[in-house]
Amino acid sequence: MLRKIASYLTQPLDSVTRLLGRSSSAALPVPEIHSREHHDISRRDMSRAALNVLYGLNKGGFEAYLVGGCLRDILNGVTPKDFDVVTNATPEEVQKLFRRARVIGRRFKIVHVYFGQDVIEVATFRALSEPDEREESEHGMILRDNIYGTIEEDALRRDFTLNALYYNIDNFALYDFMGSLDDIRERRIRIIGDPERRYREDPVRMLRAARFAAKMQFELEPETEKPIHQLGLSLHQVPAPRMFDEVLKLFLTGHALASMKSLQQLGLLEILIPESGKHLHDTGIGPVWNNLIEQACINTDKRIAENRPVTPAFLFAVLLWPAVVARTEKHLEHGVPFAPARQKAAGQVIHSQNEITAIPKRFAQVIREIWDMQLRLDKRHGRHAEVLVADTRFRAGYDFLLLREQSGEIEPGLGDWWTRYQEEDEHGRMEMVRQLGKTAAPAKKKRRRRRKPAGAGSTGSQ
Ligand code: ATP
Ligand code: MG
């Protein structure tokens, strides 16, 4: 589901340090080459599939390197989740070498090579192209760019130094063009080239910076960080499906809490969820919303650490909840009754968030069900509780309710009732509902009356 964007773009040559001067503007970096006995990357750290691809390319007469994130991860003691390969073979040449290989990509052509369950992404070295050789949007974002080049050029187009190491399968040596090893050693994230220009070319790099800082517990080097505080809004020009994928990588890969902090520090959280973001600093409710999101992040990280499933729907239900509550209030002020006000708010919030992060329909549906559950969980008399607890969305709705109580958004109590209800046997459950008959139903009526607009009249005396 997480679509891979193997798209690394150009940046100005003059700003790259450690460059070898050339006659024209094409100044290229010289690598520091660390032979096998001088680095810590071992073939044992690589998947069978990755090695097959590397050797296959090599046997076919091509250069083959492992590159980027996988090397960064191995050096940090993290098991890579995928292996990326670069080569001087064109996509068509790569395809001919492997039985199960497919050329994919609209923006950039790459090849997926399949071995059993594994997919290895193989890219061809990209050239540094001049702006007029490629398609750019009016904001300077690169749209299409399929010009092949050398490994040096390829290195210059990577995003951060920590992602620009190359491992050569031919001699097992590590090629460091950008001072990557020093940066990794010093736990530093440094963008390659002119920071502002590189973020303008591809604003997603700002999210990647936040993500690597969170994932690796690295610091952003000041020049790399500075422009992010001004350029955050350019993320709204990125295609919304890609943004959705990036949000999942930030929040559903085991470091959600650190991602939240890192995004906040860079001023990007409000840009990812503008409508909720507006209320994160409100006096009174602001800290509650921060608590809510923070607690959800903690729970998500815990679930992932325990190998339990997580869903984007729950994450977005939390991230968008402050906006739903605020919009509901607005509709209530205009005299709309509570349930339709909530429905209307929910639809509007999802609609406007879709402009930024396209939420696939199947998740949007679940998000709404989780929100609907918040009203339904209050209705427990008669057979309501029995029916609700068997609902497929009960668990998510209940977890969401607990979060709301925990964050201080609502008084605790209802969540605890449902916790006990689930622990009881049939008889105990009936007894719990019977007890409610005496107290809960009238209490609810009372609350409803308070929501009526002033002047609507109150007949009850309870
Ligand atoms: P992870 O796989 O953990 O998400 P990664 O760094 O491997 O992190 P990928 O999306 O797999 O990220 O990309 C592979 C490599 O491609 C990166 O390490 C980097 O060198 C390069 N790259 C990816 N996205 C960009 C980008 N937006 N701009 C420049 N280079 C990029
Ligand atoms: Mg990767």
In angstroms, rounded to a whole number, what is the distance separating the alpha carbons of residues 80 and 66? 12
Structural domain includes residue 391? yes
Span from the CA of 245 to the centroid of ligand 2 (angstroms):
13
Whether residue 119 is found in the same domain as residue 15: yes
Structural domain includes residue 24? yes
Structural domain includes residue 452? no
Environment of ion ligand 2 (residues, CB < 5 A): 69, 82
Whether residue 187 is found in the same domain as residue 296: no
Residue 188 belongs to a domain with what CATH number?
3.30.460.10
User: Which residue segment(s) compose the domain that 294 sits in?
Assistant: 276-436
pLDDT score at 2: 39
Domain boundary among 146, 177, 193: 193
Q: Is the pLDDT of residue 82 over 70?
A: yes
What's the total number of domains in the chain? 2
pLDDT score at 8: 36
Nearest ligand by distance to the CA of 255: 1
Structural domain includes residue 322? yes
The mean pLDDT of 160-184, rounded to a whole number, is 97
pLDDT score at 376: 93
In angstroms, rounded to a whole number, what is the distance separating the alpha carbons of residues 102 and 339? 50
Phi (first) and psi of residue 101, to 5 degrees? -140, 145
The dihedral sign for the CA sequence 221, 226, 228, 234:
negative
Active site residue 84: yes
What is the tens place of the pLDDT at every residue in 375-424? 999 999 888 999 999 999 999 999 999 999 999 999 999 999 999 999 99
3-state SS, residue 438:
helix
3-state SS, residue 113:
strand
Domain boundary among 175, 193, 211: 193
Structural domain includes residue 31? yes
Span from the CA of 452 to the centroid of ligand 1 (angstroms):
54
Domain boundary among 161, 193, 225: 193
Bridge partners of residue 204, in order along the sequence: none
Confidence of residue 145 (pLDDT cuts 50, 70, 90): low
pLDDT score at 136: 57
pLDDT score at 139: 64
Structural domain includes residue 14? yes
The mean pLDDT of 106-129, rounded to a whole number, is 89
Q: Is the pLDDT of residue 4 over 60?
A: no
Residue 336 belongs to a domain with what CATH number?
1.10.3090.10
Whether residue 149 is found in the same domain as residue 43: yes
The dihedral sign for the CA sequence 225, 186, 47, 31:
positive
Structural domain includes residue 52? yes
Cβ of 243 closer than 6 Å to ligand 1, yes or no, is no
Mean pLDDT of the chain: 88
Taking CA atoms only, the protein residue closest to ligand 1 atom 12 is 69
Whether residue 309 is found in the same domain as residue 175: no
Which pTM was predicted?
Answer: 0.86
The dihedral sign for the CA sequence 333, 336, 339, 345:
negative
Active site residue 154: no
Active site residue 45: no
Structural domain includes residue 157? yes
